Structure 1
Amino acid sequence: MMKAALYPAYIMRTIAKRVFFSTSVAKLEGGVSMVQGASRGIGLEFVRQLLHRRETGHVVATCRNPDSATDLLKLKRDYANRLNILPLDVTNESTIEAAATAIRDAYGYLNLLINASGILSIPNLLQPETTLSKVEKSSLLLTYEVNAIGPILVVKHMWPFLKVGGGAGTDREVAVVANLSARVSSIGDNGLGGWHSYRASKTALNQLTKTISVEFSRKKDPISCILLHPGTVDTDLSKPFQRNVAPEKLFTREFSVQKLLNIIDNTKRSDNGKFFAWDSTEIPWSSILFFSSLIDPANIKCNGI
C-alpha cells in the first residue's frame, strides 16, 4: 500500500472530505434539526414532537439557560443519543457563533432550522402598548432585537450547514428554515391599532425572511425559507391576553406544532419566501381579508386594541 505521504495534498484533502461525509451520513441517519428557543412553549413542543415522530434523527435544542430548562433536560434523559442542548441567546451574537461552531463540529450540517423564540410581554419591563402614549424606545428596541434581529442572525450563522438540502431521513428535496411570525404582522390587516412593538417586530421579521429567501433562490441554494403563523396557542406568551379569545380559537401546543410540522414536512422549493398559517393556508403579506388571531375583534373590551 502506498504511504499517505506519497499522495498529493489535494488528493488527501479529497479523501478526508469523503471519509467525513460518509461517517456523517451513517451517524446522522434521519437528519439533523435545530430548534432555537426551545426551553418552553412552542419551541419545547417542536423538540418533543421531532424526537417522537421518528426513531432516528438528531435534534439540536438551544435556549439562553440550558441548566434551568427543566422540561428540556427531561427530554435529554429520554433521548440522550439524539438530543443535543446548546446555550444560545439571540441578543448575544457570540453565543450564536459558538452554537454554530458546535453544530459544525458535531454534525456538519442541518436539514431544518426552526426559530421559535419571541417576546410579547415581560412583567415590569415590557407590555403591549394599547395607545401611542405608552410607546417607549426601550420596548421597541428590545422587541425588535428578540423577534426580528435575533432569528435572522441565527439563520446567517447556520446558513452554511443548510446548503445540503433535505438530507437523509427526510422526504424533502430542500432544507427548511421556518421562522415563527404572527398574523398581526400584516400591515393591511391592522384595523385595530395598538401592540406597536410586537406588530412592528414581526413585520420586520417577515421582511427580513422574505429578503433572505430571495438570496437563497438567486444563489440556487437548496433551502426554502418560510414563515409560520401558529394561531393563538396556550403558552406563557399568550396567557395574559387569553380572556377575550374564543375557546375554539385557543390551540394547545400539541395541536399547533403538529399542524406546523405537517407544513414543514411538505415544504417544496417553490414555497421559498411564503407565509403560512397553521392550517396550511397561505397568508398574503398585506391583506384585509384576515383578522388578528391573537384577540377576537368582536370581543374587544378596551380602548385602542
Structure 2
Amino acid sequence: MKLFVLHTLMATPLRSICKASFCSSSKHLKGGVSMVQGASRGIGLEFVRQLLEKTEKDHVVATCRNPSGATGLLELKRRFEERLDIQQLDLTVESTIEASANFIRERYGSLNLLINASGVLSIPDVLHPETTLSKVQKSSLLFTYEVNAVGPILVIKHMWPLLKVGGASGTERDVAVIANLSARVGSIGDNRLGGWHSYRSSKAALNQLTKTISVEFARRKDPVICILLHPGTVDTDLSRPFQRNVPEDKLFTKEFSVQKLLSIINNAKSSDNGKFFAWDGQEIPW
C-alpha cells in the first residue's frame, strides 16, 4: 500500500520552473546540446556539471522530477545561466517527457547527446533489494521496471527525432549518442550471486530494449547510436546503503566515474552501437 501511495504521488505532474528567468527563445546558439535525464543529484548532476565545465559553448538541458527542490542544479544554473536549462520530467508521466522534447525542439532545434541517468534501487521503508525469492513483490517488480526500463525508453522515443550529428565541442564523434546508465548486475551472463530480483531484471530489460533500439537505428542508417554504461559502484545515495562490503579501491567518486563515462561517450563510434560498456571501456556480457 505504501508503494502504491508513493507511485501515485510520483505520477502527479509538478509545475515546471522553466519560466522567464530560466529560458530564452533563441535557437541560434553556438555549441552542441546535451540532455541529461535524472539530473537532480548523484551521477546525473555530475554529468551536468562536467558537460558545462568542459567547454564554454555547449548547452545542457537537465531534467528531473522536482526542479524546485534540486538544489545542486539550481546552483549550477546560477553559474551557467545562459547554457543550462532545467525542465520538469517525471518518467512515470509521458506527457512531461513530450513537453521536454517540445521545449528542446523550440529552443534548440536539435540534440547531440542524450544521457538517461535516473534509476531506483531502494526507497526507505518502501522498496528494498530482495535477498530471497520469498521477499519478491509484484508492486516492487512493476515499479522498478517502470522507472529503470520503461521510462528511459519513452524518453528515447520522444527525443529520437531531435538527435542530430555535430555541434558538440571537444569530441570527434560522427554520430549522435544515446547513453543509458545500466548496471553490471543487469547482465544475465555475469549473474553469479542472485538476489536483487527487481533491480537486476529491470536493468536487464533496459539492456534488451536499448539493444533493440540500436538495431532499428542501424537498419534505418540513422547517424545515432545507443550504448549502455555501467558506472561502477559510485558513492551516491543509491549505493550508500550497500557499500559495507565494497573494497575501498572499488568505490568510486562521482567525479571519477563520470569522467570515465564521458570519455567513452566522446569517443563513441558507429561500430559501438548497441554495446554495453563498463566504466573502464571493457564490454560487459549480456
TM-score (norm. length: structure 1): 0.84
Give the 3-state SS of the residue equivalent to 1:54 in structure 2. Answer: coil
Q: 1:248 corresponds to which residue?
A: 249
**1:168 Cα offset (Å):** 4.9
User: Are the aligned partners of 2:234 and 2:257 in contact in 1 as well (CA < 8 Å)?
Assistant: yes
Coordinate RMSD, CA, aligned: 1.0
Q: 1:7 corresponds to which residue?
A: none
Question: Which whole-Å CA distance do the structure 2 matches of 1:211 and 1:179 have between them?
Answer: 13
Give the 3-state SS of the residue equivalent to 1:60 in structure 2. Answer: strand
Q: Is residue 158 of structure 2 the alignment partner of residue 145 of structure 1?
A: no
The aligned amino acid for 1:184 is V
String of CA shifts for 1:71-113, please: whole Å, max 9, x gaps.
1000000000000000000011010011111111111100000
String of CA shifts for 1:180-200, please: whole Å, max 9, x gaps.
000011112111111000000
User: Are the aligned partners of 1:39 and 1:66 in contact in 2 as well (CA < 8 Å)?
Assistant: yes
Give the 3-state SS of the residue equivalent to 2:225 in structure 1. Answer: strand
Q: 1:17 corresponds to which residue?
A: none
Question: Which whole-Å CA distance do the structure 1 matches of 2:237 and 2:285 have between them?
Answer: 28
String of CA shifts for 1:32-76, please: whole Å, max 9, x gaps.
000000000000000000000011110000000000000100000
5+ residue gaps in structure 1?
1-22, 286-305
How many residue pairs get aligned? The number is: 260
User: Are the aligned partners of 2:190 and 2:285 in contact in 1 as well (CA < 8 Å)?
Assistant: no
Q: 2:265 corresponds to which residue?
A: 264
Q: 1:167 corresponds to which residue?
A: 167
User: Are the aligned partners of 1:47 and 1:61 in contact in 2 as well (CA < 8 Å)?
Assistant: yes
5+ residue gaps in structure 2?
1-25
**1:171 Cα offset (Å):** 2.2
Trace 1:187-226 onto structure 2 (pairs within 5 A).
Answer: 187-226=188-227
User: Are the aligned partners of 1:86 and 1:99 in contact in 2 as well (CA < 8 Å)?
Assistant: yes
How has the CA–CA distance of structure 1 residues 233 and 259 changed in structure 2, closer, same or farther, with 3 Å as cutoff?
Answer: same
Trace 1:5-44 onto structure 2 (pairs within 5 A).
Answer: 24=27, 27-44=28-45
**1:282 Cα offset (Å):** 1.3
String of CA shifts for 1:148-195, please: whole Å, max 9, x gaps.
000000000000000x22335342110000000000111121111110
The aligned amino acid for 1:186 is S
How has the CA–CA distance of structure 1 residues 61 and 111 changed in structure 2, closer, same or farther, with 3 Å as cutoff?
Answer: same
Q: Is residue 107 of structure 2 the alignment partner of residue 106 of structure 1?
A: yes
Question: Which whole-Å CA distance do the structure 2 matches of 1:59 and 1:222 have between them?
Answer: 21
String of CA shifts for 1:130-153, please: whole Å, max 9, x gaps.
000100000000000000000000
Give the 3-state SS of the residue equivalent to 1:35 in structure 2. Answer: strand
Give the 3-state SS of the residue equivalent to 2:281 in structure 1. Answer: coil
**1:250 Cα offset (Å):** 0.1
**1:28 Cα offset (Å):** 3.0
The aligned amino acid for 2:204 is T
Question: Which whole-Å CA distance do the structure 2 matches of 1:193 and 1:80 have between them?
Answer: 46
Q: 1:47 corresponds to which residue?
A: 48
Post-superposition, which runs of at least 4 consecutive aligned residues in structure 1 deviate over 4 A? none
The aligned amino acid for 1:272 is N
Question: Which whole-Å CA distance do the structure 1 matches of 2:64 and 2:245 have between them?
Answer: 31
User: Are the aligned partners of 1:151 and 1:179 in contact in 2 as well (CA < 8 Å)?
Assistant: yes
Question: Which whole-Å CA distance do the structure 2 matches of 1:50 and 1:147 have between them?
Answer: 23
